[in-house]
Chain A
């Protein structure tokens, strides 16, 4: 029951933090000596450091069209944020799969193989048109599949040729030393039948949305069945927003204050650790945890929840 914990960096939240144009203005009586070279990436790096120092295994960086791009954030902070994994979310519409695979190689070479890909199918049709992407909804899973086939193909096979509906490569494939880097761990998401079928054949880790235990159990079983038929065994993950406080009533109070999304895990440190351990028993091995403000909550969850979770998991292991 080895689990991996990831802290979420959402570049669009806490937008005023370390953003020269948006930061909160101090009253004139406070002498303000902040300089414009302090920028948003200082904040990303600080969240990254917080995750390292509080014992997370990785960072999960969201793709937000209006904010900094996830892969740029990952690379920009990687050299000052040691040891943890960087999972960057981005749609399969970014461009050539060969090119994306090649970029991943340099990231791997420069960071000691710490890169993960959370490839998404893309936004809704209207948003996609604003991105010059006119693919039909029904073809989105197939495009992710082809994207990954081409990327894995050129990474591991030489010469590699594939002529698909979305991507084409002829006599491709990386040579030494590029082909010595590990291919990024692939995280896919979604709860629909199509999403599960795609993950059964392509995901290393499938991330579910936070949900009821029974619903999650059902989804895990469905994916497991599909994967077995494909002779694969992707691991199961969960994107879980959290409001954890010392006491349950404080957590409930703060959850009300902040207006949390459905299925947010709200409770005392013990409540939250109990629930995460329960999910681990259900088969979830990869936890993407999130809370705002990202920095302070990373410390809170890292210091109070993760140690409790680890204790529970060791007792479960001992009991088994």
Chain B
């Protein structure tokens, strides 16, 4: 058994330390001395580097440290993964670009051409994290007014067409949302491998589409028992359709030589969270089931970092320290590896890992945590038998 490990490219700037909420890499904060990409010359003018230069460094660190590639998230105020990927295609070698994409945003035929062109530019290093969207104001911001369950219906059809035309000429489709006649990629483009699909979404509507189209069903980290139930149900659903569903987890780590050092970083980071940050995360409106599961942790109301320790080495306040999911892993290298092994034992076939700062932590996790994997999972699997 082998497990796929991916890293993440932060598309909204990065922090030089998990202890500080300051986006001092990239241009999401005002330019000042100590900033990187852009940096300053004589403490004032920009040095001419831009954020893509920093993303290039992270991608190269990830591929060097043993990650297959990285998730490239997309939100209203991030850079865009469809452009980041080709910009970095020719200066990376094995890094696979996992584009987070909401299918409704692009015509499926044109998007397939973009995708096949990217496969050609990268030597087949493109894959997708298919997202159907949280709904509410954010969807309307993107110009998308579909209701929640309709959006999954549309995602399903979109993927039907996207996959169908990859077979070449003569593809016909007549659905509720999409209709094509005699469609197909040109032989040049159709010769490329169809990109792997990692599928996110926690609602029943999402799980149904995942069963048909997903290579990997991707979840944020959740309390382990809850996650085990979810994976079991996804795998069962796909098995009924005659397929085999792989599952993957997206999780942040704070891994240090000792557990004490790891919690010290969390403690300082937590104490540096501003009231404004708490307010911002508290007020987010969404109809996403996954987001509500995470919100149930209520990290914005916690006064002590210890209140958010939901299990040994599991901390539920990551969203206060940086954008994204709340639950993450905190501990020594050994403990972090043990947690990942536990997750493998309960059904994870792949991971998207991340740590802040993304550049340095790609090397740290790659060199200190990944080499420890496999010892505990063997033990756990044997115990289960």
Residues of A within 8 A of B (CB): 15, 21, 37, 39-41, 45, 65-69, 71-80, 90-91, 93-99, 102-103, 105-107, 109-112, 129-134, 150, 167-172, 174-178, 180
Please report the total number of B residues contacting A with Cβ < 8 Å.
55
- The reply to whether B80 and A105 form a contact with Cβ atoms under 8 Å apart is yes
- The reply to whether A106 and B79 form a contact with Cβ atoms under 8 Å apart is yes
- The reply to whether B120 and A41 form a contact with Cβ atoms under 8 Å apart is yes
A-B contact pairs, 11 of them (CB 8 A): A40-B120, A66-B188, A69-B117, A71-B86, A78-B87, A79-B87, A99-B142, A169-B140, A175-B76, A176-B28, A177-B26
Q: Is B181 positioned at the interface, with any CB of A under 8 Å from its CB?
A: yes
Most buried by B among A73, A133, A171, A177: A177
- The reply to whether B141 and A75 form a contact with Cβ atoms under 8 Å apart is no
Shortest CB distance A300–B (Å): 26
| In the complex, residue of chain B having the shortest beta-carbon distance to the beta carbon of A131 | B109
B28, B88, B180, B188: the one contacting A130 at CB < 8 Å is: B180
- The reply to whether A168 and B143 form a contact with Cβ atoms under 8 Å apart is yes
- The reply to whether A102 and B90 form a contact with Cβ atoms under 8 Å apart is no
Q: A215 to B179: give the CA distance in the assembly, Å.
A: 41
Shortest CB distance A37–B (Å): 6
B114, B117, B141, B179: the one contacting A170 at CB < 8 Å is: B141
- The reply to whether A95 and B79 form a contact with Cβ atoms under 8 Å apart is no
Residues of chain B in range 32-86 having any CB-CB distance to chain A below 8 Å: 50-52, 76-77, 79-80, 82-86
- The reply to whether B181 and A130 form a contact with Cβ atoms under 8 Å apart is yes
| In the complex, residue of chain A having the shortest beta-carbon distance to the beta carbon of B84 | A106
- The reply to whether B141 and A68 form a contact with Cβ atoms under 8 Å apart is no
Q: Which residues on the B side are within 8 Å of A174 (C-beta)?
A: 76-77
Q: Which residues on the B side are within 8 Å of A21 (C-beta)?
A: 191
| In the complex, residue of chain B having the shortest beta-carbon distance to the beta carbon of A72 | B117
Shortest CB distance B180–A (Å): 4
Give chain A's interface secondary structure class: mixed
| In the complex, residue of chain B having the shortest beta-carbon distance to the beta carbon of A172 | B141
- The reply to whether B141 and A171 form a contact with Cβ atoms under 8 Å apart is yes
- The reply to whether A72 and B114 form a contact with Cβ atoms under 8 Å apart is yes
Q: Is B183 positioned at the interface, with any CB of A under 8 Å from its CB?
A: yes
Q: A109 to B114: give the CA distance in the assembly, Å.
A: 20
- The reply to whether B180 and A95 form a contact with Cβ atoms under 8 Å apart is no
**Besides the known contacts A76-B89, A102-B80, A107-B87, 17 further A-B residue pairs in the complex with CB atoms under 8 A apart:** A45-B90, A65-B113, A67-B188, A69-B114, A73-B117, A75-B83, A77-B90, A79-B52, A98-B141, A103-B80, A110-B52, A129-B181, A131-B107, A132-B179, A150-B143, A172-B141, A177-B28
- The reply to whether A95 and B106 form a contact with Cβ atoms under 8 Å apart is yes
- The reply to whether A132 and B108 form a contact with Cβ atoms under 8 Å apart is yes
Q: Which residues on the B side are within 8 Å of A167 (C-beta)?
A: 143
Q: Which residues on the B side are within 8 Å of A175 (C-beta)?
A: 76-77
Q: Which residues on the A side are within 8 Å of B143 (C-beta)?
A: 96-99, 150, 167-170, 172
- The reply to whether A95 and B140 form a contact with Cβ atoms under 8 Å apart is no
Q: A97 to B105: give the CA distance in the assembly, Å.
A: 9
Q: Is B182 positioned at the interface, with any CB of A under 8 Å from its CB?
A: yes
Q: A39 to B122: give the CA distance in the assembly, Å.
A: 9
Q: Is B224 positioned at the interface, with any CB of A under 8 Å from its CB?
A: no
Residues of chain B in range 108-162 having any CB-CB distance to chain A below 8 Å: 108-111, 113-114, 117-118, 120-121, 123, 137, 140-145, 161
With A68-B117, A76-B89, A109-B79 in contact, is A132–B141 under 8 Å at CB? no
Q: A168 to B143: give the CA distance in the assembly, Å.
A: 5
Q: Which residues on the B side are within 8 Å of A80 (C-beta)?
A: 90-91
- The reply to whether B83 and A170 form a contact with Cβ atoms under 8 Å apart is no
Q: Is B189 positioned at the interface, with any CB of A under 8 Å from its CB?
A: yes
- The reply to whether A79 and B83 form a contact with Cβ atoms under 8 Å apart is no
A67, A99, A130, A176: the one contacting B106 at CB < 8 Å is: A99
- The reply to whether B110 and A93 form a contact with Cβ atoms under 8 Å apart is yes
Q: Is B186 positioned at the interface, with any CB of A under 8 Å from its CB?
A: yes
Q: Is B27 positioned at the interface, with any CB of A under 8 Å from its CB?
A: yes
A77, A90, A98, A131: the one contacting B142 at CB < 8 Å is: A98
- The reply to whether B52 and A109 form a contact with Cβ atoms under 8 Å apart is yes
B85, B91, B107, B121: the one contacting A133 at CB < 8 Å is: B107
